[in-house]
Structure 1
């Protein structure tokens, strides 16, 4: 396998780690109403589990409320039940064909716990990126051993893999710090 293909393949994997973390952070509660809090909640709808954002308009009209207006009014009770059953810890109120969720402010203790969870999420993705680096280096070593690439090409590619690892690890650290700051801001 040519060096460029190995590098591109593993860089794509590193990008996916960053994207995954970004999507995970959308569901982290910050004390401000965000539609991301309910995006990952799935609702039993005609026999299949459907994300709320595919069956309703979800918006945050202000900093303390989330408003969910189902496309199909008969799904209102199922959406309400799914939100109550989720681990988000919010209390939905059905009214006038919509669901209103009031997002209460977070206590300092709860903010610290959420910040710790954010750190753990970031660390898990940094580990995933290091695993991608390990796999790329192993592939490069195998290709050099099998005489597919030269030793110089392998060494040069390993340096590029290390640079990619550093770049995406720093990106994850930036996202994590920003999310922690967002959580800790009152």
Structure 2
């Protein structure tokens, strides 16, 4: 792979990581992604809830979790209660319901700040990739000065493109969070 391809691949990865992180931020609407990182003990090993239960959104503000194995109902309920998602599980014997309350204005602003921090971290990662690529280009003795400068300009344009993608992702998430 060339320096350019490597840089583009790493920058793309940074954007993908950001998008995954942004999915975990609550928006006031029920979304199965908020349970992605919640695990429970299943035969001695941690298991993600979304692999052991069906999760569906009911009426926009409620998640219904139906375990494939009814014996795991209590374990899933306990895992959700102990997680940091801030939702209280209601076990009705067959499934678990999670009511997602509307967010307060203060909480919305907090989540927007979190999204901005995640975006800033992604931008830092992208800039680090740019720095590494530029260092590699400068160390390459086979390139002429003009070729080196040209490659560095291309890396900068690539960086600008991915930083813009990060900003768009954060802006979209912020609008989603602030939408009442």
Offset from partner CA, 1:120-151 (integer Å, 9 cap, x none): 111111111111111111111111xxx23332
In structure 1, runs of 5+ residues without a counterpart are none
Coordinate RMSD, CA, aligned: 1.1
SS at structure 1 position matched to 2:175: helix
- Number of the residue aligned with 1:152: 146
Whether 2:124 is the aligned partner of 1:127: answer yes
Compute the TM-score of the two structures, normalised by the length of structure 1. 0.93
Compute the TM-score of the two structures, normalised by the length of structure 2. 0.96
- Number of the residue aligned with 2:167: 173
Q: CA deviation at 1:42?
A: 1.6
CA distance in 2, matches of 1:142, 1:76: 58
- Number of the residue aligned with 2:5: 8
- Number of the residue aligned with 2:92: 95
- Number of the residue aligned with 1:36: 33
CA distance in 1, matches of 2:57, 2:36: 12
In structure 2, runs of 5+ residues without a counterpart are none
- Number of the residue aligned with 2:67: 70
- Number of the residue aligned with 1:116: 113
Give structure 1 regions of 4+ aligned residues with deviation exceeding 6 angstroms: none
Instruction: Count residues with an aligned counterpart.
Output: 180
